[in-house]
Amino acid sequence: MFFNGDSKDNVKVIFSSWSGGKDSALAFFKAKEFFGRVDYIFTMFDENCLRTRAHGLKPEVIRMQADSIGVKLIHGCASWKGYEEVFSHILEEYFAGGVGVFGDIDLQEHLDWIVRVCNNKNVSVFEPLWKREREDIFYEFLQLGFKARVVSVKKGFEELMGKELNEDFIELARKVGADLCGENGEFHTLVYDGPIFSYPLPIDEIYQMHIEVSNISRSAL
């Protein structure tokens, strides 16, 4: 765990950086345990506000997750070039004096970026998964009752596409040489049920829509 705040008590506002995937969902859960609440989820989309920067999910999917969780959604839209500027503006407008929750595991470069940008806007950083073992994270995710499906993969890891996260997935990830938590970008997931959700999302419908739109996007390139 990593936390650079002064105290977990009487925090002005708490947001959880939200990709729609497994690590952000588990980080949200751990933050709610630690602080007793999470006030917002915060998602960054591409410059056209059509897809999430991290997982390529449509805005309506993120809104469906927010509705089931029962939390307010704040979002920003930016190109990679303008990402930091937009991210920082939202921190300043909505979250100054509060805490940001993130789902990093051991990418030091990303933690350094998060801490720098958040500190510049008077936002503390909470990373509940930081430096934990991959299998411990994965098994806790399953044991808590979360459910997720792989919705995008890097070239060479196509066998993982569409797979549910379960114990069988562990062996498959090992077989194809993927990091169990996808920390090198081998795969990304969509969480559709679990202890933070009040009802499950219609994953088959969402997945089919995601695949169809992805295929259309690729054919247009």
Q: 163-195, pLDDT tens digit by residue?
A: 999 999 999 999 999 999 998 889 999 999 999
The total of structural domains in the chain comes to 2
pLDDT at 209: 76
80 shares its domain with 14: yes
Are 207 and 151 spatial neighbours (Cβ–Cβ below 8 Å)?
Answer: yes
Which CATH number is 104's domain given?
3.40.50.620
- In this structure, is residue 94 part of a structural domain? yes
Give the residue numbers spanning the domain of 189: 143-219
- In this structure, is residue 134 part of a structural domain? no
Residues 36-74 have pLDDT tens digits of 999 999 999 999 998 887 778 899 999 999 999 999 999
pLDDT at 219: 33
Q: Name the residue among 20, 3, 6, 97 with its Cα closest to residue 58.
A: 20
117 shares its domain with 194: no
116 shares its domain with 198: no
What distance in Å separates the CA atoms of residue 29 and residue 194, rounded to the nearest whole number? 10
The residue among 127, 161, 195 that closes a domain is 127
What average pLDDT does the chain have? 92
pLDDT at 207: 85
Q: Which of 101-115, 130-144, 202-216 has the lowest mean pLDDT?
A: 202-216
pTM, rounded to two decimals: 0.92
pLDDT at 212: 57
The residue among 100, 127, 154 that closes a domain is 127
The residue among 63, 94, 127 that closes a domain is 127
185 shares its domain with 87: no
